[in-house]
Amino acid sequence: MSAAAPDTAVRTASLTRILIYCALILFAFYYLLPLYVMLVNSVKPLDEIRQGDMLSLPQQFTLDPWFSAWSTAQIGVQPTGLKPYFLNSILMVVPAVAASTLLGALNGYVLTKWRFPGDNLVFTLMLLSCFIPFQIVLIPMAKVLGLLGIAGTTWGLSLVHAIYGIGFTTLFFRNYYEAFPTELVRAAMIDGASFFQIFRRILLPSSGPIIVVTVIWQFTNIWNDFLFGVSFADSYSLPMTVALNNLVSSSTGVKEYNVHFAGAILAALPTLIVYVVSGRYFVRGLMAGAVKG
Protein backbone atom coordinates (compact mmCIF):
# COMPACT_ATOMS: atom_id res chain seq x y z
CA MET A 1 0.00 0.00 0.00
CA SER A 2 1.67 3.16 -1.11
CA ALA A 3 1.12 5.92 1.38
CA ALA A 4 -0.67 8.92 0.02
CA ALA A 5 1.43 11.93 0.92
CA PRO A 6 0.42 12.97 4.43
CA ASP A 7 -0.42 16.60 3.84
CA THR A 8 -2.19 17.76 6.93
CA ALA A 9 -1.40 21.29 7.99
CA VAL A 10 -1.79 20.59 11.69
CA ARG A 11 1.53 20.97 13.51
CA THR A 12 2.45 19.07 16.66
CA ALA A 13 5.17 19.37 19.28
CA SER A 14 7.83 16.67 19.60
CA LEU A 15 6.68 15.24 22.95
CA THR A 16 3.22 14.83 21.52
CA ARG A 17 4.73 13.14 18.51
CA ILE A 18 6.42 10.55 20.70
CA LEU A 19 3.13 9.86 22.43
CA ILE A 20 1.39 9.55 19.07
CA TYR A 21 3.95 7.04 17.87
CA CYS A 22 3.58 5.05 21.10
CA ALA A 23 -0.19 4.92 20.72
CA LEU A 24 0.03 3.93 17.07
CA ILE A 25 2.51 1.15 17.78
CA LEU A 26 0.41 -0.07 20.68
CA PHE A 27 -2.55 -0.42 18.36
CA ALA A 28 -0.41 -2.18 15.78
CA PHE A 29 0.31 -4.76 18.50
CA TYR A 30 -3.39 -5.07 19.24
CA TYR A 31 -4.21 -5.84 15.61
CA LEU A 32 -1.28 -8.21 15.18
CA LEU A 33 -1.71 -10.07 18.47
CA PRO A 34 -4.33 -12.66 17.41
CA LEU A 35 -2.42 -13.49 14.23
CA TYR A 36 0.80 -13.80 16.22
CA VAL A 37 -0.87 -16.04 18.80
CA MET A 38 -2.23 -18.30 16.07
CA LEU A 39 1.10 -18.49 14.25
CA VAL A 40 3.24 -19.20 17.32
CA ASN A 41 0.88 -21.77 18.74
CA SER A 42 0.41 -23.58 15.46
CA VAL A 43 4.02 -24.75 15.59
CA LYS A 44 4.05 -25.89 19.23
CA PRO A 45 3.26 -29.39 20.49
CA LEU A 46 -0.02 -29.56 22.40
CA ASP A 47 1.66 -30.07 25.79
CA GLU A 48 3.64 -26.92 25.41
CA ILE A 49 0.46 -24.92 24.70
CA ARG A 50 -1.22 -26.25 27.83
CA GLN A 51 1.75 -25.69 30.10
CA GLY A 52 3.31 -22.59 28.66
CA ASP A 53 1.78 -19.23 27.87
CA MET A 54 0.30 -18.35 24.53
CA LEU A 55 2.73 -15.55 23.76
CA SER A 56 6.04 -17.35 24.18
CA LEU A 57 7.95 -18.66 21.18
CA PRO A 58 7.97 -22.44 20.71
CA GLN A 59 10.67 -24.33 22.60
CA GLN A 60 10.08 -27.35 20.47
CA PHE A 61 9.29 -26.39 16.89
CA THR A 62 7.00 -28.74 14.98
CA LEU A 63 5.09 -28.61 11.71
CA ASP A 64 2.95 -31.62 12.59
CA PRO A 65 -0.14 -29.52 13.38
CA TRP A 66 0.04 -28.04 9.90
CA PHE A 67 0.26 -31.43 8.23
CA SER A 68 -2.52 -32.69 10.43
CA ALA A 69 -4.78 -29.72 9.65
CA TRP A 70 -4.11 -30.09 5.95
CA SER A 71 -4.49 -33.81 5.45
CA THR A 72 -5.42 -35.91 8.48
CA ALA A 73 -7.52 -33.93 10.96
CA GLN A 74 -11.04 -35.09 11.67
CA ILE A 75 -13.63 -32.94 9.85
CA GLY A 76 -17.10 -34.12 10.76
CA VAL A 77 -16.85 -37.88 10.53
CA GLN A 78 -13.95 -38.15 8.13
CA PRO A 79 -10.24 -37.79 8.85
CA THR A 80 -9.47 -35.98 5.61
CA GLY A 81 -7.97 -32.75 6.87
CA LEU A 82 -8.91 -29.47 5.26
CA LYS A 83 -7.40 -30.26 1.86
CA PRO A 84 -10.56 -31.38 0.02
CA TYR A 85 -12.49 -28.40 1.39
CA PHE A 86 -9.79 -26.00 0.33
CA LEU A 87 -10.26 -27.42 -3.16
CA ASN A 88 -14.03 -27.08 -2.85
CA SER A 89 -13.63 -23.43 -2.01
CA ILE A 90 -11.44 -22.86 -5.05
CA LEU A 91 -13.90 -24.67 -7.32
CA MET A 92 -16.68 -22.58 -5.83
CA VAL A 93 -14.89 -19.23 -5.96
CA VAL A 94 -13.36 -19.25 -9.44
CA PRO A 95 -16.51 -19.70 -11.58
CA ALA A 96 -18.56 -17.44 -9.31
CA VAL A 97 -16.01 -14.62 -9.46
CA ALA A 98 -15.56 -14.99 -13.22
CA ALA A 99 -19.29 -15.05 -13.98
CA SER A 100 -20.29 -12.21 -11.69
CA THR A 101 -17.40 -9.99 -12.84
CA LEU A 102 -18.19 -10.51 -16.52
CA LEU A 103 -21.89 -9.87 -16.00
CA GLY A 104 -21.15 -6.84 -13.85
CA ALA A 105 -18.92 -5.38 -16.57
CA LEU A 106 -21.57 -5.86 -19.26
CA ASN A 107 -24.30 -4.47 -17.01
CA GLY A 108 -22.22 -1.45 -16.10
CA TYR A 109 -21.53 -0.86 -19.80
CA VAL A 110 -25.22 -1.03 -20.74
CA LEU A 111 -26.34 1.10 -17.81
CA THR A 112 -23.94 3.93 -18.64
CA LYS A 113 -23.42 3.86 -22.40
CA TRP A 114 -26.68 2.39 -23.74
CA ARG A 115 -29.13 4.14 -21.49
CA PHE A 116 -32.80 3.41 -21.93
CA PRO A 117 -36.00 4.56 -20.25
CA GLY A 118 -36.18 2.96 -16.81
CA ASP A 119 -32.46 2.24 -16.54
CA ASN A 120 -32.25 4.09 -13.24
CA LEU A 121 -34.94 1.92 -11.75
CA VAL A 122 -33.12 -1.21 -12.93
CA PHE A 123 -29.92 0.04 -11.37
CA THR A 124 -31.59 1.03 -8.10
CA LEU A 125 -33.15 -2.41 -7.77
CA MET A 126 -29.79 -4.06 -8.43
CA LEU A 127 -28.08 -1.74 -5.98
CA LEU A 128 -30.56 -2.42 -3.20
CA SER A 129 -30.05 -6.15 -3.68
CA CYS A 130 -26.49 -5.73 -2.34
CA PHE A 131 -27.72 -4.97 1.13
CA ILE A 132 -30.37 -7.57 1.86
CA PRO A 133 -29.75 -9.88 4.80
CA PHE A 134 -29.26 -13.25 3.14
CA GLN A 135 -31.48 -14.90 5.74
CA ILE A 136 -34.39 -13.63 3.68
CA VAL A 137 -33.45 -15.81 0.68
CA LEU A 138 -32.24 -18.96 2.44
CA ILE A 139 -35.52 -20.89 2.42
CA PRO A 140 -36.57 -20.34 -1.23
CA MET A 141 -32.98 -20.77 -2.41
CA ALA A 142 -32.73 -24.17 -0.73
CA LYS A 143 -35.92 -25.17 -2.52
CA VAL A 144 -34.79 -23.89 -5.91
CA LEU A 145 -31.40 -25.62 -5.63
CA GLY A 146 -33.29 -28.82 -4.88
CA LEU A 147 -35.56 -28.34 -7.91
CA LEU A 148 -32.56 -27.72 -10.15
CA GLY A 149 -30.94 -30.88 -8.81
CA ILE A 150 -27.81 -29.07 -7.65
CA ALA A 151 -28.52 -28.98 -3.93
CA GLY A 152 -25.44 -29.82 -1.90
CA THR A 153 -23.03 -29.37 -4.79
CA THR A 154 -20.14 -27.00 -5.28
CA TRP A 155 -21.71 -25.87 -8.55
CA GLY A 156 -24.88 -24.96 -6.75
CA LEU A 157 -22.95 -22.85 -4.24
CA SER A 158 -21.03 -21.25 -7.05
CA LEU A 159 -24.28 -20.29 -8.77
CA VAL A 160 -25.68 -18.79 -5.56
CA HIS A 161 -22.58 -16.68 -5.07
CA ALA A 162 -22.55 -15.56 -8.69
CA ILE A 163 -26.18 -14.41 -8.47
CA TYR A 164 -25.81 -12.49 -5.24
CA GLY A 165 -22.56 -10.96 -6.46
CA ILE A 166 -24.12 -9.33 -9.52
CA GLY A 167 -25.44 -6.35 -7.56
CA PHE A 168 -22.01 -5.37 -6.30
CA THR A 169 -20.13 -6.03 -9.53
CA THR A 170 -22.70 -3.99 -11.48
CA LEU A 171 -22.32 -1.17 -8.96
CA PHE A 172 -18.52 -1.17 -9.32
CA PHE A 173 -18.50 -1.17 -13.12
CA ARG A 174 -21.34 1.28 -13.44
CA ASN A 175 -19.58 3.85 -11.27
CA TYR A 176 -16.34 3.29 -13.16
CA TYR A 177 -17.82 3.50 -16.66
CA GLU A 178 -19.85 6.55 -15.67
CA ALA A 179 -16.59 8.50 -15.77
CA PHE A 180 -15.53 6.99 -19.09
CA PRO A 181 -15.92 9.53 -21.96
CA THR A 182 -19.16 8.78 -23.77
CA GLU A 183 -17.90 10.70 -26.84
CA LEU A 184 -15.48 7.87 -27.60
CA VAL A 185 -18.31 5.36 -27.53
CA ARG A 186 -20.46 7.60 -29.70
CA ALA A 187 -17.70 8.10 -32.25
CA ALA A 188 -17.23 4.35 -32.52
CA MET A 189 -20.97 3.88 -32.98
CA ILE A 190 -20.98 6.33 -35.87
CA ASP A 191 -18.09 4.41 -37.41
CA GLY A 192 -20.34 1.36 -37.33
CA ALA A 193 -18.75 -0.54 -34.44
CA SER A 194 -21.12 -3.05 -32.87
CA PHE A 195 -22.19 -3.28 -29.24
CA PHE A 196 -19.68 -5.98 -28.38
CA GLN A 197 -16.89 -4.47 -30.49
CA ILE A 198 -17.15 -1.22 -28.55
CA PHE A 199 -17.09 -3.12 -25.28
CA ARG A 200 -14.11 -5.27 -26.23
CA ARG A 201 -11.99 -2.71 -28.06
CA ILE A 202 -12.77 0.50 -26.23
CA LEU A 203 -14.00 -0.09 -22.68
CA LEU A 204 -12.35 -3.34 -21.71
CA PRO A 205 -8.76 -2.22 -22.44
CA SER A 206 -9.09 0.61 -19.92
CA SER A 207 -10.96 -1.40 -17.30
CA GLY A 208 -7.88 -2.94 -15.67
CA PRO A 209 -8.16 -1.26 -12.27
CA ILE A 210 -11.87 -1.85 -11.80
CA ILE A 211 -11.54 -5.48 -12.85
CA VAL A 212 -8.85 -5.94 -10.21
CA VAL A 213 -11.00 -4.23 -7.56
CA THR A 214 -14.04 -6.30 -8.46
CA VAL A 215 -12.21 -9.62 -8.59
CA ILE A 216 -10.57 -8.98 -5.23
CA TRP A 217 -13.84 -7.91 -3.65
CA GLN A 218 -15.73 -10.91 -4.98
CA PHE A 219 -12.94 -13.33 -4.19
CA THR A 220 -12.67 -12.13 -0.60
CA ASN A 221 -16.40 -12.13 0.02
CA ILE A 222 -17.09 -15.50 -1.53
CA TRP A 223 -14.07 -17.20 0.00
CA ASN A 224 -15.02 -15.86 3.43
CA ASP A 225 -18.72 -16.69 3.15
CA PHE A 226 -20.10 -18.99 5.79
CA LEU A 227 -23.88 -18.67 5.70
CA PHE A 228 -24.48 -20.04 2.19
CA GLY A 229 -21.89 -22.75 2.71
CA VAL A 230 -23.42 -23.98 5.93
CA SER A 231 -26.95 -23.79 4.49
CA PHE A 232 -26.54 -25.33 1.05
CA ALA A 233 -23.48 -27.60 1.05
CA ASP A 234 -23.53 -31.28 1.94
CA SER A 235 -20.68 -32.88 3.85
CA TYR A 236 -18.65 -33.43 0.66
CA SER A 237 -19.05 -29.98 -0.84
CA LEU A 238 -18.38 -27.89 2.28
CA PRO A 239 -16.34 -24.78 1.65
CA MET A 240 -13.24 -24.04 3.71
CA THR A 241 -14.90 -21.75 6.27
CA VAL A 242 -17.54 -24.31 7.21
CA ALA A 243 -14.97 -27.11 7.36
CA LEU A 244 -12.79 -24.97 9.63
CA ASN A 245 -15.72 -24.31 11.92
CA ASN A 246 -16.47 -28.06 12.03
CA LEU A 247 -12.85 -28.77 12.86
CA VAL A 248 -12.71 -26.20 15.64
CA SER A 249 -16.08 -26.88 17.20
CA SER A 250 -16.07 -30.67 17.03
CA SER A 251 -16.53 -31.85 20.55
CA THR A 252 -15.06 -35.33 20.27
CA GLY A 253 -11.65 -36.13 21.67
CA VAL A 254 -8.90 -33.79 22.78
CA LYS A 255 -9.03 -30.22 21.59
CA GLU A 256 -5.97 -29.88 19.41
CA TYR A 257 -5.50 -26.15 19.60
CA ASN A 258 -2.36 -26.17 17.49
CA VAL A 259 -4.20 -27.95 14.67
CA HIS A 260 -7.07 -25.48 14.94
CA PHE A 261 -4.70 -22.55 14.65
CA ALA A 262 -2.94 -24.06 11.66
CA GLY A 263 -6.33 -24.69 10.03
CA ALA A 264 -7.47 -21.14 10.70
CA ILE A 265 -4.33 -19.74 9.07
CA LEU A 266 -4.82 -22.07 6.09
CA ALA A 267 -8.37 -20.75 5.71
CA ALA A 268 -7.17 -17.16 5.96
CA LEU A 269 -4.15 -17.57 3.70
CA PRO A 270 -5.68 -16.96 0.25
CA THR A 271 -7.41 -13.72 1.22
CA LEU A 272 -4.39 -12.59 3.25
CA ILE A 273 -2.12 -13.15 0.26
CA VAL A 274 -4.48 -11.21 -1.98
CA TYR A 275 -4.52 -8.44 0.60
CA VAL A 276 -0.74 -8.29 0.95
CA VAL A 277 -0.17 -8.39 -2.81
CA SER A 278 -2.82 -5.86 -3.74
CA GLY A 279 -3.90 -4.08 -0.59
CA ARG A 280 -4.42 -0.78 -2.38
CA TYR A 281 -7.09 -2.29 -4.62
CA PHE A 282 -8.62 -4.13 -1.70
CA VAL A 283 -9.15 -0.89 0.18
CA ARG A 284 -10.48 0.82 -2.90
CA GLY A 285 -13.06 -1.94 -3.30
CA LEU A 286 -14.08 -1.67 0.35
CA MET A 287 -14.55 2.06 0.00
CA ALA A 288 -16.44 1.80 -3.28
CA GLY A 289 -18.69 -0.88 -1.88
CA ALA A 290 -19.30 1.00 1.32
CA VAL A 291 -19.50 4.66 0.54
CA LYS A 292 -20.67 4.99 -3.01
CA GLY A 293 -24.34 4.90 -3.79
Partner 1 sequence: MAQAATAPSARNYLQELLPRLVLAPSFAAVLIFVYGFILFTGYLSFTDSKMLPSFGWVGLENYSKLWALPHWWRALGNLGIFGSLYIIICSVLGLGLAILLDQKIRAEGVLRPIYLYPMALSFIVTGTAWKWFLDPGIGLEHTMHQWGWESFSFTWIKDRNFAIYTVVIAAVWQSSGFVMAMFLAGLRGVDNEIIKAAQMDGASNLTIYRRIIIPMMRPVFLSAFVVLAHLAIKAYDLVVALTGGGPGQATELPATFMYSYTFTRNSMGIGAASATIMLIMIASVIVPYLYSELSTGRKS
User: By CB under 8 A, what part of segment 97-156 binds partner 1?
Assistant: 103, 106-107, 110-111, 114, 116, 122, 124-129, 131-141, 143-144
Q: How many residues bind partner 1 (CB under 8 A)?
A: 101
Q: Is 27 in the site for partner 1 (CB under 8 A)?
A: yes
- Of 4-12, 61-69, 76-84, 150-158, the window that binds partner 1 (rule: CB under 8 A) is 4-12
Find the shortest distance in angstroms from Cβ 63 to partner 1. 19
Nearer to partner 1, 92 or 111 (CB): 111
Find the shortest distance in angstroms from Cβ 22 to partner 1. 10
Q: Which of residues 28-57 bind partner 1 (CB under 8 A)?
A: 28, 30-35, 37-38, 41, 49-50, 52-55
Whether residue 218 contacts residue 97, with contact meaning beta carbons closer than 8 Å, is answered with yes
Widest CA span of the chain, in angstroms? 77
Among 18, 21, 204, 206, binds partner 1 (CB under 8 A): 21
User: What is the Rg, in whole angstroms, of the alpha carbon atoms belonging to the chain?
Assistant: 24
Q: Which of residues 195-254 bind partner 1 (CB under 8 A)?
A: 195, 220, 223-224, 226-227, 230-231, 241-242, 244-245, 248-249
Among 93, 173, 260, 281, binds partner 1 (CB under 8 A): 260
Neighbours of 266 (CB within 10 A): 21
Find the shortest distance in angstroms from Cβ 28 to partner 1. 5
Name the helix (H) or strand (E) containing 16: helix 14-41
DSSP state at residue 250 = -
Q: Where are the alpha helices (DSSP H) in the chain?
A: 14-41, 46-51, 64-67, 83-113, 119-128, 135-148, 154-178, 182-190, 195-198, 208-224, 227-232, 240-249, 257-291
Find the shortest distance in angstroms from Cβ 226 to partner 1. 4
CA neighbor of 215 nearest in space, from 168, 269, 265, 153:
168
Neighbours of 293 (CB within 10 A): 6
